[in-house]
Amino acid sequence: MSSTKTTVRVKVSPQAARIVGKEAPRDMQLSAARGALPLAAHDLITVLFFFVNSKDVELKKLAAVTLRELPVPVLKPVLTNAETHPHLLHLIARARYKDVVVMEELLQNPAVIDETFVFCASRVAEPLLSMIANNAQRLQQAPQLVQAILDNPHSDKALKFRFGWSEEEAPALLDEDEESAEKGEIEEVEEETLSKYQHALVLGVSEKIKMALTGDKEWRSIFLRDSNKLVSSAALNNPRITDGEVLALAKLKTTSDELIRIITLNKDWMKSYEMKKAIALHPRTPINKAMRLMSVFNEKDIKSIAKSKELPAAIVNNAKRMIMMKEKKGG
């Protein structure tokens, strides 16, 4: 039985080369593995890449821990740079696939390879799973993604139907809110040569709008992320949409400003504290509206926002002002 090893060539800057080279001082390497050296983001990730793949057990363990704990602002220049080496991005994905903030940035980088998408598709939870499932270009490019999504324990019933589960498996996956499920009956599944997702690709705008307004959770999931605002808005206005679906949409950074606007206009949705928090911290929410929503935040969330290095400065400063005002009143 033979095994094959893939050689990956990563360009190393002079600064990184001094650290990963055979003649590098041991204390320097240990400090770098802990993330304690003043290195540029790309150099740091490059060094950690070499250490994680080295035979030195101590460096390997330290580098792995550092990768899992690096703050998002440190990683962001690497995550968002289209010239980042794909295997550096793959390394980050393996270490941080449970981190929604990191992965939302990473999965939008065009340098990410199919192998990384497949790895993530089989492991990530929502909203990242929907982000992958709605990437039509990547699905066509890497058909193995479908099986990875189906194998993912976080895939819900609608998602499994969308990617063509067999008719024999369908009864176990029927939505609990369907009338047939309430009666204990098994809904007959019509044989289709195309999954709903594939079918959606050939629908016209008017047909999409009609299906978005009346369709089940699977159709809503597809059309909420449609690039056409009329289609995505129709899906959000579907009378069967649940509060959970809307909250997941509000937490997704890539959700359009139009959908965020529609959510904020719905008084029932906006009664929820979690919804107010998601909307206030969404990058598409106008700053003045976000600040108004922050007035109901609890002390724990305000303190967390005040320490954030990822949110807009206006939001962070507003949280700091709120803390100062409360301290003055208390004093």
Instruction: Count Cβ atoms below 10 Å from residue 212 Cβ, excluding itself.
Output: 26
Instruction: Tell me what pLDDT residue 121 has.
Output: 93
Instruction: Tell me what pLDDT residue 294 has.
Output: 94
Among 330, 126, 308, residue whose Cα is nearest residue 225: 126
- The string over 106-142, giving b where at least 16 C-beta atoms fall within 10 Å of a residue's C-beta and e elsewhere, is bbebeebeeebbbbbbbbbebbbbbbbbbbeebbeeb
In order, the DSSP letters of 218-257 are: HHHHHHTT-SSHHHHHHHHT-TT--HHHHHHHHH-TTS-H
Q: Which residues of the chain have pLDDT under 50?
A: 1-4, 166-194
Q: Which residues contact 99 (CB under 8 A, 6 or more apart)?
A: 72
CB 79 within 8 A of CB 106: yes
247-279 pLDDT per residue, tens:
989 988 888 889 999 999 999 999 999 999 999
How many helices and strands in the chain, by DSSP H and E?
Answer: 23, 0
Instruction: Tell me what pLDDT residue 120 has.
Output: 94
Q: In whole angstroms, what is the distance from residue 260 CA to residue 206 CA?
A: 22
Q: Please name the residue that has the structure tokens 């080369």.
A: 17
Instruction: Tell me what pLDDT residue 217 has.
Output: 87
Q: DSSP letter at 119?
A: H
Instruction: Tell me what pLDDT residue 164 has.
Output: 61
117-172 pLDDT per residue, tens:
999 999 998 888 888 888 888 888 888 888 888 888 888 777 777 666 544 444 34
Instruction: Tell me what pLDDT residue 7 has.
Output: 58
CB 43 within 8 A of CB 13: yes
Q: In whole angstroms, what is the distance from residue 15 CA to residue 289 CA?
A: 45
Q: In whole angstroms, what is the distance from residue 207 CA to residue 200 CA?
A: 9
Q: Which residues contact 218 (CB under 8 A, 6 or more apart)?
A: 158, 159, 161, 162, 196
Q: In whole angstroms, what is the distance from residue 103 CA to residue 92 CA?
A: 9
Instruction: Tell me what pLDDT residue 6 has.
Output: 54
Instruction: Tell me what pLDDT residue 181 has.
Output: 32
